[in-house]
Amino acid sequence: MKDWRNTLITKERPMIEAMKIIDTAALQIALVVDDARRLIGIVTDGDIRRALLKGMSLSEPIEKVMTVDFTVARPGQRNDDLIALMKSKDLRQIPIVNGQGEVVDLKILVDLVQLPGRDNWVVIMAGGQGERLQPLTNDMPKPLLRVGRKPLLETIIENFAEFGFRRYFVSVNYLADKIEAFLGDGSRWGVDIRYLRESWKMGTAGALTLLPEHPDRACIVMNGDVLTRVNWQHLLDFHDAHHAQATICVKEYHFQVPYGVIKTDQHRLAGIDEKPVHHFFVNAGIYVLEPEILAFIPKDRPSDMTGVFEELLRRRCETVAFPIREYWMDIGRMEDYEQANRDYHNQAEDKGGQTERP
């Protein structure tokens, strides 16, 4: 039973605590209250991710990111009225406060009305040869390499299926028969899997031109060598909330220069920055595309997703970046593959050997 009381937090607590509440309380929100449990702000997953994009630290207090312009309802309001209010304001949760402003309950839209499952398509790019992982990939496609007890593709499909995604397209080229033989039609996961068969190397975006029909809503496109625990609901909510035509997922990357960096003013020494750390957001290989974006992908030549986004920027389309704060690993090199397996085994040890994936 989800207990709304687990969402309460005070404004001086660090952002990382609000993030844990959002993840573990399973109610997708943190309610910021004062000492008298009066509601003074709310924090959602989107608030946390926008703060990360601004370069804020998770140690900073919640007060800096909480939303103070929020909607509440009163005790005793009918469910029909709550549903209408939440839909009119595009809300998934609404706090219930009494006349003194104290939180007495939290209503969740999905608990009030049966919402339809996600009909967004998932496209997984699995046609690469995985040359940097040879000899492992000499006779095995990279997406079928095992991390822990399962092939990578199986973990990807299961993660999406947990969120209700039912329709999948998998692009295949190198050792395509092995991928198709393993995944089949998807029935063992209760999903529908079809294949985009590349007769030549089409790039990370080119296979989208092989879709047999046009999607009627945004689709998620993901590289088949990415292992992640991204919350797909949060991703689509973020995409929708920003009215984006295309969303690119990004992961923060740290690089430390192993030397003291010298600053000069002509011939004079101006300073020494000892082993500075640089922070970047890198492409995480996961995207959300509205249907109209597919028209920008050329059919007669290879096309990579980075080129597609460059074209969208040139056309001034609404593109946004979604920062991944969950586990993420691009298994492109041998050291990445070995690290992913270490992560799996470390988590298994932490959970007494009862885990299935990182």
The CATH number given to whatever domain includes residue 269 is 3.90.550.10
The answer to whether 221 and 287 are in contact (CB under 8 A) is yes
Stated as kind and residue range, the H or E segment containing 234 is: helix 232-241
Domain annotation covers residue 341: yes
Q: How buried is 106 (Cβ within 10 angstroms: 0-12 exposed, 13-18 middle, 19+ buried)? A: buried
Are 2 and 26 in contact by the 8 Å Cβ rule? The answer is: yes
* 210 and 76 assigned to the same domain: no
pLDDT of 353 strictly over 50 = no
Q: How far apart are CA 25 and CA 324, in angstroms?
A: 19
- Give the distance between the most distant pair of CA atoms in the chain: 75
CA dist 311 and 315 (Å) reads 6
Rg (CA), the chain: 23
If asked whether residues 79 and 153 sit together in one domain, one would say no
How far is residue 97's CA from residue 74's CA, in Å, rounded to a whole number?
Answer: 6
* pLDDT tens track for 219-235: 999 999 999 999 998 99
Which residues does residue 14 pair with via DSSP β-bridges, in sequence order?
Answer: 61
Q: Is the pLDDT higher at 194 or at 87?
A: 194
> Average pLDDT, stretch 274-288?
91
One domain for residues 317 and 218: yes
Q: Is residue 282 part of a domain?
A: yes
pLDDT at 188: 85
Evaluate if residue 24 carries a pLDDT over 60. Answer: yes
Report yes or no on 284 lying in a domain.
Answer: yes
Sole residue written with tokens 């040879």: 134
Same domain for 99 and 171? no
15 and 48 in contact (C-beta within 8 Å)? Answer: yes
CATH number assigned to the domain comprising residue 24:
3.10.580.10
Closest of 10, 82, 75 to residue 39, by C-alpha:
10
User: Quick one: which of 273, 271, 280, 275 has its CA closest to 258?
Assistant: 275
**Is there a single domain that holds both residue 38 and residue 139?**
no
Amino acid sitting at position 96: I
pLDDT of residue 358: 55
| Residue 22 and residue 165 share a domain | no
Q: Compute the distance between CA of residue 176 and CA of residue 304 in angstroms, rounded to an integer.
A: 20
Decide which of 89, 112, 135 is a domain's last residue: 112
pLDDT at 352 over 50: no
> Average pLDDT in the 150-170 region?
92
Residues in the chain: 358
What percent of the chain is predicted at pLDDT more than 90? 63
The pLDDT tens digits for 182-201 are 999 998 888 999 999 998 88
Last residue of a domain, one of 85, 112, 139: 112
Residue with tokens 């080229």: 173
Closest residue by Cα to residue 290 from 358, 236, 353: 236
CA distance 2 to 8: 13
Q: Are residues 228 and 246 in the same domain?
A: yes
152 and 230 assigned to the same domain: yes
Strand bridging mode 103-108 / 93-97: antiparallel
Q: What is the share, in percent, of the chain residues with pLDDT greater than 70?
A: 95
Claim to verify: residue 307 and residue 206 sit in the same structural domain: yes
Residue 247 lies in a domain: yes
Query: What confidence tier does 357 reach under pLDDT thresholds 50, 70, 90?
Result: very low
Amino acid 129: pLDDT: 86
Q: Is the pLDDT of residue 348 over 60?
A: no
Domain that holds residue 188: 122-350
Question: What is residue 114's predicted lDDT score, i.e. its pLDDT?
Answer: 56
Is 358 domain-assigned? no
51 and 163 in one domain?
no
| pLDDT of 39 | 95
Name the domain boundary from 55, 86, 112: 112
Q: In the predicted model, is pLDDT for residue 147 greater than 70?
A: yes
Number of domains the chain contains: 2
Dist CA 323 CA 235 (whole Å):
9
- List CB contacts of 213: < 8 A, sequence separation 6 or more: none
Instruction: Give me the pLDDT at residue 117, please.
Output: 58
Task: Quote the mean pLDDT of the chain.
Answer: 89
Q: What angle do CA 15, 21, 23 make, to 5 degrees?
A: 105
Does residue 144 register a pLDDT over 60? yes
Looking at residue 354, its pLDDT comes to 35
Q: Which of 60-64, 160-164, 290-294 has the lowest mean pLDDT?
A: 160-164
Q: What is the pLDDT of residue 355?
A: 39
- Judged against a pLDDT cut of 60, whether residue 351 lies above it is answered with no
In a shared domain, residues 189 and 337: yes
> Which tokens in the block code for residue 109?
């839209």
The answer on 193 and 339 residing in a single domain is yes
